Amino acid sequence: MQKHIAQDAPACPQPSFWETHKFEILRNTSYILIILALIILPTFRIAKIDIAHNEAWIFGKQVDIVQGLGAVIVAGGFFAILVIVLNLINGRVFCGWICPGGFVAEVQEKFRRMLYGPRSSKFQRLEYWILSFVVAVLFALLFFNWITDLRVFFYKTNPFFAPMWFAFIGTTGIFFFEVFIGKKWCRVFCPTGIYQKITPYHHIFKPTMVPWADLDDCGSCRACIIHCPMALDPRRMAYINDFYKGIQACIACGTCIDVCKQVRTKECKEPLMVWVRELPPRDPEFIEGKHKRPKHH
Ligand code: SF4
Ligand code: SF4
């Protein structure tokens, strides 16, 4: 048994877990902190509007609802500017590191692959429907907690009882669609994603393949393609000018860098995916995804 383990162990020093999962750890930390902030800020009335009771709170101080709405508009403007600034610096960083919807869609995508694949049983599919519904409700509650006292949903006498339920059901329906389709939401439908594709963008750091390698060096590995949340080919997407297949769609998540390092260092080889500031020149065959050596099986 011991001999077997010794045979399987790679014959080279292995990087730490941190080195091979750096972007995954940092990104998930960022997402979770944002979601915690979205829960804590209205719950502790650091910033909250309560439409149902016609009042608002800023830093724990009760203010007129008009003042509260003013603060929301300012926050919304700040948010829109932040998205543009991040987009100008490094593309859709907002989607890959900040947006709670992006995080939820990514987690859902993992469940979708587990429960809603072509070989999934009816029971697994049902599980996925239920899971998507629960996540959509929780996600809607997260946002309604900003604009109302959630108890309004139980007080029939409150004039906002019916309108709030109406708005809540509509919002949950949209969120259900979002979480059910997983990461396809970010790729195709998300208005913030579309907004970032059409506003000016720049990528200071671009993920791509090291200049000395070509597609044949990957052999049969497709790990970075399989794990890219935006369904891109990370090795060459930075050369492509396309809303869905090119750099406009990249959320600068770094997953391709992490994954390639995991795969290659296990085989005692240098990782092929890196961040670059300047893209090395490539011939059109590489950009089109053509292999130089014909594949023989
Ligand atoms: S290409 Fe790399 S950095 Fe861009 S979205 Fe895909 S995995 Fe993330
Ligand atoms: S993970 Fe690395 S080795 Fe595998 S396909 Fe991507 S670039 Fe090639």
259 shares its domain with 215 = yes
CB atoms within 10 A of CB 141: 15
Whole-number Cα distances in Å, 107 to 28, 132, 172, 181, 234 = 10, 11, 18, 11, 20
Q: Is 296 within the bounds of a domain? A: no
Q: What are phi and psi of 209, to 5 degrees?
A: -85, 145
Range of 219's domain? 204-288
Count of domains in the chain? Answer: 2
> Which residues, at least 6 apart from 213, have a Cβ–Cβ distance to it below 8 Å?
272
Q: Compute the distance from residue 235 Cα to the ligand 2 centre, in Å.
A: 8
**Residue 83 and residue 164 in one domain:** yes
What is residue 296's predicted lDDT score, i.e. its pLDDT? 52
Q: Are residues 38 and 181 in the same domain?
A: yes
Pocket around ligand 1 at a 6 A CB cut-off: 207, 228-230, 232, 234, 237, 250-256
The closest of 3, 6, 23 to 234, measured between CA atoms, is 23
pTM greater than the 0.85 cutoff: yes
Q: Are residues 63 and 34 part of one domain? A: yes
Does residue 256 share a domain with residue 168?
no
**In this structure, which amino acid lies at residue 30?**
S
Q: Answer with the one of 198, 217, 242 that is the final residue of a domain.
A: 198
> Is 34 in the same domain as 114?
yes
Coil, strand or helix at 78: helix
Q: pLDDT per residue over 200-259, tens digit each?
A: 889 999 999 999 999 999 999 999 999 999 999 999 999 999 999 999 999 999 999 999
